[in-house]
Structure 1
């Protein structure tokens, strides 16, 4: 009788469901790389756990940034990627963008920024500007309210309105007297950016006397980074140089996500050639407010 009891106890222990930590580990292990994109059913199948259990745990992991949830399902979040890659995958973005940042600076003589979204803030990953860089109050690793910068607004324009509402539900920080401080006005601005094929502009919203043009670098499900060109608000020819920024953003996108279509271009025109190629009428059509899709 004792032997039977021990056998039952041991059998129950072996078949008992794993602890919460074990279940979380099984779910995270279901993602076999940073590029893995899985539906709820696929995660449950790989983890060999009940669908309801997986759904409940995934909800918690999403809130804690271990996992991201998008229209296709789930993928690893920045905290999970940060453990494996040290910086949440930002090194890959910086590597892909580095030659384009330097090229943009050489072509225009202006300051170039690469940034990513972190909540409702933009974090600067890189800054290229030579001696001019000191004239722009930004630094690598620094943070700024995303709604006050051109690249930040360009990234926010990729998000669904409900996500923007969640990010800016409280009082909105003002960097200058020109910073957008009303959520309704921000939505109007983001809609204009969408209609302008993803191009965002700001003049004195983040720092007095500074003007920028920015574009989001797109991934499968939204922005992975933002690219911007900044200079003196009195003299910077933002509209004329916008095509250069858009072209660089497309190039970075193709490098990071070649499966989205298009290969690397053999060469891009210089700033002077671009100015000659893009007539005022062509630039007007390019920048016109219309629902023509993203850059």
Structure 2
């Protein structure tokens, strides 16, 4: 049985709160949870404010990262989700990723990172690496240009090209002589990542002597986070462990968004898994890009 509820009556313009802070609060209160996704009309209805007023204030909130705007409408942004949490609203991502990050480290012995996009930068949320961790110049809370890391590029690959242009513009900072410093070259690299079904590689782009493979955790409207494996560029089996990174990213996506991945996987008996889970032929089909090497 469908229950029809009467929408709140629009507020009389003469009764609209005179304070901008009050109006902003009404608009933010319209989102009844971190997962709420609302159209402009729904926000205006819930806040009981004129549509034009809501549209103007939402534009400002989007620019300041209090609200995000995507194809479906609006949702709370990282600032709103981070209030009181101290982690920018990423606790859920970290919790879902934690067991997979530990498993990747145990399977490969390499350094594992979990990161998120913040503008044109990648912010490290977690780092697991045992005694090898000190050999990789990264830290939890640290920031690097997203285009210089494998997980950063993996996340950028799932943004529309116009958004990538907005993020970088003239800010293509170079960390090493291998770092991409041209926007056109970056777009070519992101296209190769899409052809590899989301797997990104880098060698010496964020730190000399370090190689890395990464993949994005994807949500309803794009990348939510990225995971990566890093090691010595001379000895790390980057190509061989790439399928493990891809599968871990899919598993975290299934945990966070079961409706996108066909639901959670049934629990499996506790048994060690082999590091090499794909056949050589399947791996070659996944990673091969015509006319391009690994990078």
Does the pair score TM above 0.5?
yes
Moved more, 230-239 or 60-69: 230-239
1:219-250 deviation per Cα after TM superposition (whole angstroms, max 9, x unaligned): 11111110000011111111111110111111
What is aligned with 1:17? Answer: 16
Moved more, 174-183 or 278-287: 278-287
What is aligned with 1:115? Answer: 115
The alpha-carbon distance between structure 1 residues 54 and 14, as it changes in their structure 2 partners (threshold 3 A), is closer
SS of structure 2 residue aligned to 1:284 = helix
1:71-123 deviation per Cα after TM superposition (whole angstroms, max 9, x unaligned): 11000001111115332221111111111111100000000000011111111
Task: Tell me if the contact between 2:212 and 2:228 (Cα under 8 Å) persists in the aligned partners.
Answer: yes
Superposition map of 1:20-59 within 5 A: 20-59=20-59
Alignment partners' CA distance in 2, 1:88 and 1:171: 23
Task: Tell me if the contact between 2:107 and 2:275 (Cα under 8 Å) persists in the aligned partners.
Answer: no
SS of structure 2 residue aligned to 1:202 = strand
Tell me which stretches of 4 or more aligned residues in structure 1 moved more than 6 Å: none
Higher helix share goes to which structure? 1
1:170-226 deviation per Cα after TM superposition (whole angstroms, max 9, x unaligned): 141111100000000001101111111010000010001100000001111111110
TM-score by length of 1: 0.89
Deviation at 1:162, TM superposition (A): 1.0
* Unaligned residue ranges in structure 2 (runs of 5+): 1-11, 291-295
| 1:67 paired to 2:67 | yes
Moved more, 20-29 or 142-151: 20-29
Moved more, 79-88 or 228-237: 79-88
Task: Tell me if the contact between 2:151 and 2:213 (Cα under 8 Å) persists in the aligned partners.
Answer: yes
What is aligned with 2:263? Answer: 262
What is aligned with 1:148? Answer: 148
SS of structure 2 residue aligned to 1:208 = coil
Moved more, 212-221 or 14-23: 14-23
Alignment partners' CA distance in 1, 2:86 and 2:207: 31
Task: Tell me if the contact between 2:211 and 2:232 (Cα under 8 Å) persists in the aligned partners.
Answer: yes
Alignment partners' CA distance in 2, 1:221 and 1:90: 16
RMSD of aligned residue pairs (Cα, Å): 1.8
Alignment partners' CA distance in 1, 2:168 and 2:158: 15
Deviation at 1:259, TM superposition (A): 2.3
Task: Tell me if the contact between 2:105 and 2:111 (Cα under 8 Å) persists in the aligned partners.
Answer: yes
TM-score by length of 2: 0.89
What is aligned with 2:168? Answer: 168
**Rg larger in structure:** 1
